[in-house]
Amino acid sequence: MGKITFPKDFIWGAATASYQIEGAVNQDGRGESIWDRFSHTPGKVLNGDTGDVACDHYNRYKEDVQLMKELGLKGYRFSVAWPRIYPQGKGQVNQKGLDFYNSLVDELLKAGIEPIVTLYHWDLPQALQDIGGWDNRDVTDYFADYAFKMYDVLGDRVKKWITHNEPWVVAFVGNAFGEHAPGYKDFALAVRITHHLLLSHAKAVQAYRQSGNDDGGQIGITLNLTPVYPDSDSPEDSEAVQFQDGFQNRWFLDPVFKGAYPEDILEFYQEKYNAPVIRPGDMELIADNHIDFLGINYYTRAVVKKGRESGFDSVEHVHPEGKYTEMGWEVYPEGLYDLLMRIHRDYNAPNIYITENGAAFKDDKVVDGIVDDQDRLEYLKSHFEAAYRAIQDGVNLKGYYVWSFMDNFEWAYGYSKRFGIVYVDYETLKRTPKKSALWYRDVIADNGF
């Protein structure tokens, strides 16, 4: 592909999340989150790593924003730690928590960087988990109250909001697979939680429209979407694709864009798990609170075939020959093009932002002050090219936030996986832009490559 130039005003950014970078978990009145509890539970996180210190961004944010400015970032996606605002999840507000995010937003704006703020990136206040967490329908109201407070405090300067990050991961990885906080292995619980997450999303959108701070503002949701391909063109394999696509993608896309769950998956869940619990008015609330943009987190594709068991959910994942990242995810930029075209075609999505895309590779070592992460540079380049083709074919893609601005706490993998374009030395917390960051700086400056 020759020189490509992205549309004018395309937002080139980078993304992070509170628990993964902030540290300072006991500073300035922050309450405990479910990830504090989970990471301090022996055996849950590799090497016993926790987010206690992480990148100490809470105390180093001015330095980090300065580095973002030097890289020329146009946008920065971060998340607010709910337990910094409401240490008990509701009730008493922690002013020092509000002060931190106010200062961070002011630093970003001074640096000419547009903030896009995620309200929930997995660090639920533990006090709410103690009353059932997302399985307790009341938490959907506490979330809307927390969202309203953030719109009130930051909404004059923050004009792009994301209600939830990856509700599929929150529900299933945290409550069915047991690999994330709070660590349950209960599929019926996970399905019930998906509905409460979507309900809380709708209530937070409604609160935004009522906040009086939504002038010129946009609100959306970020979904981790994985395009699914059949291992063969057999009818059995296409049935496996149908289930996996429904389980992972359509279960959230359909209610958000069409106001109803996909029939095939809903029927399967009701039969097998007697879930979700949908009350009269729920689907209307979800249907009536439209989003202004869809955030897409794309990492890789899935290739599936009919599994050995019987039943709609009998799916076996296949791992084709090819290049894989340190997470065991196939490098497949074509999947990003196909996904964007599908969202455009099947859901007529309004504006789209790639709110996360990036990779962890082994090549992260500082040698003479340089981190030569050629693998990551090539990963990003190939995915930028796929995004560009989708724009050329009509997709309303308005921005791209690389995951991640800097190496950080990669959940159950702890600090063993590095996604950053900036290297973090966890002994000294020194930040070193990697080769990919320096290349990205030029892409941003030229709005292409």
Ligand X SMILES: OC[C@H]1NNC[C@@H](O)[C@@H]1O
Q: Applying CB under 6 A, which residues contact ligand X?
A: 17, 20, 166, 297, 356, 403, 410, 419
Residue 299 marked ligand-binding:
yes
Tell me, what amino acid is at 61? Y
The rounded distance, in Å, linking the Cα atoms of 443 and 356 is 17
Closest distance of CB 281 from ligand X, Å = 31
Cβ pair 440, 402 in contact under 8 A: yes
Token pair 């590779």 in the structure block, residue: 361
Instruction: For residue 198, give both structure tokens.
Output: 């979507």
The rounded distance, in Å, linking the Cα atoms of 57 and 60 is 5
Q: Which is nearer to ligand X, 161 or 419 (CB)?
A: 419
Closest distance of CB 357 from ligand X, Å = 10
Q: What is the DSSP letter of 367?
A: B
Residue 102 marked ligand-binding:
no
Residue 22 marked ligand-binding:
no
Q: Which is nearer to ligand X, 53 or 93 (CB)?
A: 53
Annotation says 356 is catalytic: yes
Closest distance of CB 394 from ligand X, Å = 27
Beta strands per DSSP E along 225-328? 228-230, 293-297, 302-306, 315-318
Residue 244 marked ligand-binding:
no
Closest distance of CB 122 from ligand X, Å = 7
For 104-134, give one letter per residue: b (16+ CB within 10 A) or e: bbebbeebebbbbbbbbbbbbbbbbbeeebb
Cβ pair 408, 122 in contact under 8 A: no
Distance of CA 408 to the CA centre of its chain: 14
Q: How many Cα atoms sit within 13 Å of 374 on the Cβ side?
A: 0
Closest distance of CB 446 from ligand X, Å = 27
Q: Which is nearer to ligand X, 282 or 410 (CB)?
A: 410
Choice among 22, 32, 107, 166 that is catalytic: 166
Annotation says 70 is catalytic: no
Q: What is the DSSP letter of 305?
A: E
3-state secondary structure at position 322: coil
In 10 A of CB 267, how many CB atoms?
Answer: 12
Token pair 């497949």 in the structure block, residue: 332
Choice among 22, 114, 326, 356 that is catalytic: 356
Q: Which of 149, 294, 153, 285 is nearest to 218 (CA)?
A: 294
Q: Which is nearer to ligand X, 225 or 240 (CB)?
A: 225
Q: Which is nearer to ligand X, 114 or 166 (CB)?
A: 166
Closest distance of CB 360 from ligand X, Å = 8
Q: Which is nearer to ligand X, 90 or 418 (CB)?
A: 418
Residue 317 marked ligand-binding:
no
Helices (H), 250-292: 251-258, 263-273, 282-288
Closest distance of CB 50 from ligand X, Å = 15
Residue number closest to ligand X, CB atom = 17
Q: Which is nearer to ligand X, 82 or 449 (CB)?
A: 82
Cβ pair 437, 71 in contact under 8 A: yes
For 392-423, give one letter per residue: b (16+ CB within 10 A) or e: eeebbbbbbbbbbbbbbbbbbbbbebbbbbbb
Cβ pair 373, 437 in contact under 8 A: no
User: Which residues are part of a known binding site for substrate?
Assistant: 20, 121, 165, 299, 403, 410-411
- Mark the binding-site residues, compressed into ranges: 20, 121, 165, 299, 403, 410-411
> Which residues carry out catalysis?
166, 356
